[in-house]
């Protein structure tokens, strides 16, 4: 019995795992050469044909299904997309017929009964990143990034609008440059050199879905095998992996760096405007590096909303004169009351202020430099302010200074 729907618009498929098998595979996970993952379910057999359902799934969703977090029936009914693929294999012609169907038109009699779960070991999730991208990176000694987009037309599944692709690639490169500006400056590199070493060239376009292969212009690895282009790619994958998690985004490189937040926002907008989710696969000549991440269109919308809020938050530094009422030299917490406003500032003592805090005493008057960081509370979606101590110096009034003279 044929179970891999090759020679269709899904591309060339490769089995990842077979979950149910009798007289052949009945439920399996597979991927195409662009790294897109499908959960395939056999639903009917007649003398002339076999009928299958193929559903696009993200790696996180596949893990939830295979470990029993989501039932098999609910996995198909509540697909991440609003469609499935119905594939009919003809025994007469040995060929596949391919049809995209909306979820609302799905015949639920095809699906497993409610209460059917898989129970796979979460540690055995198969490697999904294409081995080709790793081989290319090693053979070319360059960072390789596969950027997989969702085709916007069923009629032209391997094509993508030129204007949308141009905007996405321009936003991608601009973001990669910005992600390495701070590192480049600390290494004494000029802006022009940073841009050169962060740049990527369009290397190849693959079929099976719409995929662009990008290769770094340089591979200038340090002693640990890390390159500027690779560092930027690592940061981008981490940002996409965070998704729309408010806490993690606030603790990421976006906070306090409006330029990076703005560039990331532009990149997300370029994808959303083009109506596509994204999958990124990264292969590196340094074999300990690399990985893959994906985000659907809904997640990109949610992420952009959070990023825009973070971008709008204003971090400021405040200098006050006040009475110190708390200095915790173990947990590194402080409390100081502003003499002018009676407002009490409480928060963390940062590394640069610890030498001052070690010799500070309660009830003395100090001049304090405090950073005020607005923070979004995920549970209420409200904004609160947290404070961090940057510096602390004993304050001597004008009268005290005169007495010392």
pLDDT tens digits, one per residue of 256-299: 788 999 999 999 999 999 999 998 999 998 878 888 888 989 99
Mutual angle of helices 162-179 and 228-242, in 10-degree steps: 110
User: For residue range 54-85, what is the model confidence (pLDDT) as tens digits?
Assistant: 999 988 889 899 999 999 999 999 988 889 99
Sequence-ordered list of residues with C-beta below 8 angstroms from that of 107, at least 6 positions apart, any chain: none
Predicted pLDDT of residue 383: 81
In the three-class reduction of DSSP (H, G, I as helix; E, B as strand; rest coil), residue 83 is classed as strand
Can you give the three-state secondary structure of 22-35, one letter per residue? CCCEEEEEEEECCC
Q: How does pLDDT run across 184-240, given as a tens digit for each residue?
A: 444 555 667 766 777 777 755 655 567 888 999 877 777 677 888 999 999 999 999
For residues 59 and 115, which has the higher predicted lDDT (pLDDT)? Answer: 115
What Å distances lie between residue 119 and 41, 70, 71, 124, 375, CA to CA? 17, 10, 10, 11, 39
What's the pLDDT tens digit per position in 119-131? Answer: 998 878 776 666 7
Has residue 32 got a pLDDT over 50?
yes
Determine the average pLDDT of the residues in 84-103.
90
Q: Is the pTM of this model over 0.75?
A: no
Dist CA 175 CA 181 (whole Å): 10
At residue 325, does pLDDT exceed 90?
Answer: yes
For 381, other C-beta atoms within 10 Å of its C-beta total: 10
Beta bridge partners of 7: none
pLDDT over 50 at 402, yes or no: no
240, burial (CB in 10 Å: exposed 0-12, middle 13-18, buried 19+)? buried
Domain coordinates in residue numbering, the chain = 13-101, 131-312, 316-396
Provide, rounded to the nearest whole percent, the portion of the chain with pLDDT above 90. Answer: 43
Average pLDDT over residues 364-376: 91
Tell me which of 1-5, 200-204, 250-254 is least confident.
200-204
98 within 8 A of 85, measured Cβ to Cβ: yes
Return the pLDDT at 26.
92
Instruction: Give pLDDT, residue 153.
Output: 67
Residue 393, pLDDT > 90, answer yes
In 22-156, which ranges are E strands? Answer: 25-32, 37-45, 49-57, 83-90, 95-102, 144-149
384 pLDDT tier (thresholds 50, 70, 90): confident
- Of the two residues 156 and 105, the one the predictor is more confident about is 105
pLDDT band of residue 322 (cuts 50, 70, 90) is very high
**48 vs 223, more confident:** 48
**In the prediction, which pLDDT does 74 show?**
93
CB 221: neighbour CB atoms within 10 A?
Answer: 16
Architecture of the domain defined by 316-396: Beta Barrel (2.40)
Per-range mean pLDDT, top range of 20-29, 332-341, 370-379 = 332-341
């Amino acid at each position: 019995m044929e179970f891999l729907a090759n020679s269709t618009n899904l591309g060339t498929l490769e089995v990842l795992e077979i979950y149910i098998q009798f007289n052949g595979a009945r439920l399996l996970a597979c991927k195409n050469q662009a790294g897109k993952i499908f959960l395939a379910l056999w639903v009917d057999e007649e003398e002339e044909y076999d009928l299958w359902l193929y559903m696009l799934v993200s790696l996180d969703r596949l893990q939830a299904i295979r470990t029993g977090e989501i039932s098999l029936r609910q996995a198909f009914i509540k697909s991440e997309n609003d469609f499935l693929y119905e594939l009919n294999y003809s025994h007469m012609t040995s060929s596949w017929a391919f049809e995209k169907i909306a979820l609302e038109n799905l015949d639920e009699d095809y699906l497993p009964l409610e209460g059917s779960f898989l129970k796979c070991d979460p540690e055995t999730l198969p490697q999904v990143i294409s081995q080709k991208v790793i081989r290319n990176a090693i053979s070319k000694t360059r960072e390789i990034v596969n950027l997989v987009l969702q085709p916007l037309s069923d009629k032209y599944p391997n094509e993508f609008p030129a204007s949308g692709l141009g905007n996405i690639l321009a936003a991608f490169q601009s973001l990669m440059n910005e992600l390495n500006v701070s590192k480049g400056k600390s290494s004494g590199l000029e802006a022009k050199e940073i841009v050169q070493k962060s740049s990527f060239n369009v290397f190849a376009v693959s079929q099976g879905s719409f995929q662009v292969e990008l290769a770094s212009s340089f591979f200038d690895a340090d002693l640990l095998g890390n390159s500027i282009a690779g560092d930027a790619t690592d940061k981008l994958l981490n940002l996409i992996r965070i998704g729309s998690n408010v806490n993690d985004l606030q603790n990421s490189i976006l906070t306090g760096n409006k330029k990076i937040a703005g560039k990331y926002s532009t990149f997300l907008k370029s994808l959303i405007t083009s109506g596509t989710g994204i999958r990124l696969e990264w292969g590196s000549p340094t074999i300990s590096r690399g990985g893959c991440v994906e985000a659907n269109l809904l997640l990109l919308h949610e992420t952009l909303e959070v990023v825009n809020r973070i971008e709008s938050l204003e971090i400021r530094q405040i200098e006050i004169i006040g009475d110190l009422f708390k200095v915790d030299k173990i947990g590194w917490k402080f409390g100081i009351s502003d003499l002018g406003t009676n407002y009490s500032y409480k928060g963390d003592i940062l590394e640069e202020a610890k030498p001052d805090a070690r010799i500070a005493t309660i009830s003395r008057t100090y001049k304090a430099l405090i950073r005020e960081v607005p923070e979004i509370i995920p549970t209420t979606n409200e904004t609160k302010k947290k404070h961090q101590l940057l510096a602390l110096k004993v304050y001597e009034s004008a009268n005290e200074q005169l007495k010392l003279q």
